[in-house]
Structure 1
Amino acid sequence: MGSVVANMSMSLDGFVAGPNDEVDHVFAWYNAGPVRVETENPDFTVNLTPESAEVFRPGAPGALITGRRLFDLTNAWGGKHPMGAHVFVVTHRVPDGWPREDAPFTFVTDGVASAVRQAKDLAGDRDVALATPTITQQCLELDLVDVIAVDLVPVLLGEGIPFFAGLGKAPITLGTPTIIEAEGVTHLRYAVRR
């Protein structure tokens, strides 16, 4: 069985987006190098440093869990997530016009634990990725996260959407990180200790 991995790009002061959801600074490393990496979505190609490409390339997660807010902000990624993963959307209400037969989305209305269970079943031996701070925080509180992967970007945003603020169950102890340095980003991967 794969791991449940919370992975986000984050500023040095802990924000995954600016106050108006702007992500250009924390995603700048996606276009910082000469290695062109195509994704499942032909409209989303990245140009990474060789070091970042090695982190990015190991393959799409078997499933991805997100919240309704990101689903709406991205306009459902045009009907298919760039990584090609099946997306489980945690929501109180299924949006109008969904689900669609041609789009790999499952709407989960009975909480994050159910979303993780369904995503793990679908992913099999592949990882399940958590794609938002709120979902990550809820999963941490329920001991459902195996790995935290942070793409740490050398920028201070000063304000915005924090990755880990407001954890009710703290402290959460992490293992020694693996560290991969690249131009414009340091890739950190921590096992969550239980």
Structure 2
Amino acid sequence: MAKVIVGASMSLDGYVSGPENSGFDQLFRWYNSGDIEITTTNPELSFRLTETSAAYVRGQIEDTAALVVGRGVFDTTGGWGGLHPLGSPVVVLTHQVPEGWEREGKNFIFVTEGIEAAVARASELAGDKIVGVAAGTIGSQALAAGLVDELWVDLVPVVLGGGTPYFQSLGTTPVDGPFSVEQGIGVTHLKYRVAK
């Protein structure tokens, strides 16, 4: 059975992007803070990480078998040029399949029936590996629906002052931890379990 993780780089004031989709240069600076190169499926995108962050990212790449994102992330990234850098299939929760894309293609699956259907489809694809869910609106919907097993926060020492929060419109959700704390350069990797 798949484990469902919500994860993202987050500023000290709780944002995964700044005002008007800004701040990514600051939130992702840690991806180039070391000497160990990690390559992705995109030959133009690689990371240079510290030993701690490299082990952390390698684990994510090896263990993540499907992703769930919203239409906003999909559109902002331009659909990652047709293939996500992790190489995992991406389930996109949307109201309408974008023009020029198939409802269920090789790398992208568009789900219009809600967060439960999106996570269920991603879980089918992931088997007993990890389903990574984007923080923000989609992650908050999954958490509120009781679908999330763990929260992973890459805490970055920057204050963005506004933008898209890691969590949106939540009630109370019991969380245990952190059960893992790893200190990189310019980032602290935190993992929490969601109490069921």
Residue 118 of structure 1 pairs with residue 121 of structure 2: yes
Name whichever of 158-167 and 106-115 sits farther off.
158-167
Tell me the distance in 1 between the aligned counterparts of 2:135 and 2:176. Answer: 22
Aligned residue number for residue 48 of structure 1: 49
Instruction: Write the mapping of 1:170-181 to structure 2, written as runs, cut at 5 A.
Output: 170=172, 172-177=173-178, 178-181=180-183
Distance across 2 between alignment mates of 1:18 and 1:84: 27
Q: Which residue of 2 aligns with 1:184?
A: 186
Classify the secondary structure of the residue corresponding to 1:64: strand
Give unpaired runs (5+ residues) of structure 1.
none
Shift of 1:144: 0.2
SS at match of 2:142: helix
What is the deviation of 1:164?
1.1
Cα deviation per residue 1:86-142 (whole Å; 9 max; x = unaligned)? 000000100100118875000001011001111101100110000241111101111
Q: Which stretches in structure 2 are left out of the alignment for 5+ residues? A: none
Please tell me the residue identity of whatever aligns with 1:143.
G
Q: Confirm whether residue 63 of structure 1 aligns to residue 66 of structure 2.
A: yes
- Helix, strand or coil at the partner of 1:188: strand
Identity %: 46
TM-score between both structures, scaled by the size of structure 1: 0.95
Alpha carbons 1:16, 1:160 under 8 Å: kept: yes
CA contact (8 A) 1:51 1:182 kept: yes
- The alpha carbon displacement at 1:2 in A equals 2.6
> What letter is aligned with 1:73?
T
Q: Which has the higher helix share?
A: 2
Matched residue type, 2:90: V
The aligned amino acid for 2:129 is R
* Paired residue secondary structure (1:138): helix
> Post-superposition shift, 1:60?
5.1
| Aligned 8 A contact 2:103 2:110 in 1 | no
Secondary structure of the residue that 1:84 maps to in structure 2?
A: coil
**Which stretches of structure 1, 4 residues or more, deviate above 2 A after TM superposition?**
100-103
Letter in 2 for 1:188: L
Aligned-partner residue type, residue 101 of structure 2: W
CA RMSD of aligned residues (A): 1.3
- How many residues are paired up? 192
